[in-house]
Chain A
Amino acid sequence: MLLVLESSAGTPSLCLVNADGHIVFQRMAEHEKSHAECLPVFIQEALDFISETKGALLAVALNEGPGSYTGLRIGTSLAKGLCFGLQIPLIAVPGLQALGQWALNSFPKKERCFAMIDARRDEVYVQIYSRNKGLTPVEAQIITSGLWEIDTDLDVFMGNANTKAVALLHAEGVACEEGPYAVQLVSLALQKWRAEEYVSVAYFEPFYLKEFQAGISKKFSL
């Protein structure tokens, strides 16, 4: 079985997928930012489920980001501990691409998906997936009115920044879908699992997107 972990945004979740690609177990937190207390407990429940059904955990897939640094850290650390302990491979799922893929699969009439994760203030982490043009690069983007021309018939917003994006873009009426949730990562995770596209358990780091810039303090020097 494949364990799929989502820890990059407000609500942590996980699911188990069997070899046929069916979701056989899922958990989602009731409260936002409860990653640290919920995810380890959910994993325990998932492992109990696997033992009860006499299955075996064969790999762990994780949303690699971008998203909340703390959330990504919790998910990554848990995944590494699991994979190292069980000697099983780790799969890094590009979160925004997975959301775009899920949305276009789920809504056949939509042509283009704006996968967006909330960053601070008017900023989002965004990747646009269109059926004919493919994927744009993942970017941190401050949304301003008129930044993108939105077609309410053909576009879909996906992620946890929809309300903010609709307001800033005056895109009232566009279809919106909440995420990211573990079940939305499954299709891309399975693709990578079947292709044996693994990352290093020892050296993997989440996709932070932004280099961290620390100020050099001048305090106290003569």
Chain B
Amino acid sequence: MSNPPLSANSTILGIESSCDDTSAALLINGKIAANITASQDVHRKYGGVVPELASRAHQSHIIPVIQTALDTAGITIHQIDAIAVTQGPGLMGSLIVGVNTAKGLSLALKKPLIGVNHLHAHIAALYIEHDVVFPMLCLLVSGGHTQLIWAEAPGIYSLVGQTIDDAVGEAFDKGSKIMGMGYPGGPEIAHWSETGNDQFQKFPDSQTDSLDFSFSGIKTSLLYFLQKSQQRDPEFLATHRADVCASYQKALIDMLLKRVKKALKEFPAASIGLMGGVSANRLLRSEFATLGQTHQIPTYIPSFEYCTDNAAMIAQAGLYLGQQAQYMSMGALPYTRA
């Protein structure tokens, strides 16, 4: 039995469990009626996500999170028309919990299941709040990915540049760790940067002239710079933490924007979009918006709640797939890589 396509006013339950956030959302009649996320604090003390612990926490959070989303939207589970779930990329153990819970629900309710690509969903986060003008050049920045994507329409995406090593979110996280600060590192570094001098130290950009990114070099130069400075003055970091953070953050953002500017010369973009967890960064948001103004094209940036991993964007991406009757079979598997 094959399911018919979804209509634009369908009620979709979105489920996201690709990494360390368990999230459920309801998209009702084109509007996000609930977007509930349980974050996992257990990883903080390890300075990064521990996959086995993440999987276990998803297992105990997932049903309560779905129930809370239903309660928030004021509907019952029987009122949903379809279930959209992150199929990948992500951590296998984490994905398994979301995908199989979704399969169980789909079988119980006899409603179609939609497997969503997590990265496409980050782009779909923009469609929640904006009537996007295409073609759009996207900068997707998260803990696991740094990509330039050419979007011609919802779901029609091609990769035009990406990191050849670390993701920019990782560069924030590892930078924070090097400076003995907490996890996740992005918000920590952003916080300290507010009072720092971003011209304090110049960190070199990697010498690629393609649209690809590389962030492993800057991380190493931060480490060496701090080791040398601490040798000279053991109080160096204590005195200059804000300055080092501001300089490091500025360098990362410059590296990102340099590629966007270059891509804008090569691609006839009608708009630009920023998305993924690192798009929560205020400086990046404002510099990205300025870039759009300079080029006189619309700039789309999601609200904070749709930047980091969330199920609202999964439901939104699921709607487009469902409207084309692109459903996931019961035998389909999660995938770890895009």
Q: Do chains A and B interact in one complex?
A: yes
Task: Known contacts A36-B334, A85-B104, A222-B178; decide if A205 and B56 are in contact (CB<8 Å).
Answer: yes
Among B45-53, B304-312, B318-326, the stretch that binds chain A is B45-53
Residue of B nearest to A60 (CB): B104
Q: Is the interface of B mostly helix, strand, loop or mixed?
A: helix
B64 contacts A by Cβ under 8 Å: yes
Residues in A with CB closer than 8 Å to B223 are 220, 222
- How far, in whole Å, are A222 and B228 apart by their CA atoms in the complex? 11
Contact between chains at B93 and A70 (CB < 8 Å): yes
Residue of A nearest to B108 (CB): A85
Contact between chains at A41 and B331 (CB < 8 Å): yes
Q: Residue among A81, A83, A203 with the most chain B CB within 10 A? A: A81
B100 contacts A by Cβ under 8 Å: yes
Contact between chains at B104 and A44 (CB < 8 Å): no
- How far, in whole Å, are A133 and B63 apart by their CA atoms in the complex? 40
- How far, in whole Å, are A83 and B226 apart by their CA atoms in the complex? 54
Bitwise interface map of B from 41 to 69 toward A, beta carbon under 8 Å scored 1, else 0: 00001111010110110011011101100
Contact between chains at B64 and A214 (CB < 8 Å): no
- How far, in whole Å, are A205 and B52 apart by their CA atoms in the complex? 13
Contact between chains at A85 and B105 (CB < 8 Å): yes
Count, A-B residue pairs, CB within 8 A: 131
A69 contacts B by Cβ under 8 Å: yes
B116 contacts A by Cβ under 8 Å: no
B109 contacts A by Cβ under 8 Å: yes
A79 contacts B by Cβ under 8 Å: yes
Residues in B with CB closer than 8 Å to A47 are 107
Contact between chains at A78 and B178 (CB < 8 Å): no
- How far, in whole Å, are A76 and B103 apart by their CA atoms in the complex? 12
Residues in B with CB closer than 8 Å to A93 are none
Task: Known contacts A81-B104, A222-B180; decide if A73 and B64 are in contact (CB<8 Å).
Answer: no
Expressed in whole angstroms, the minimum distance between the Cβ of B122 and any Cβ of chain A is 24
- Where the two chains meet, the residues of B that have a C-beta atom closer than 8 Å to any C-beta of A are 45-48, 50, 52-53, 55-56, 59-60, 62-64, 66-67, 77, 92-93, 96-109, 174, 177-180, 223, 226-227, 230, 237, 330-334
- Where the two chains meet, the residues of A that have a C-beta atom closer than 8 Å to any C-beta of B are 36-41, 43-44, 47, 69-70, 73-74, 76-86, 201-203, 205-206, 208, 212, 214, 216-217, 219-222
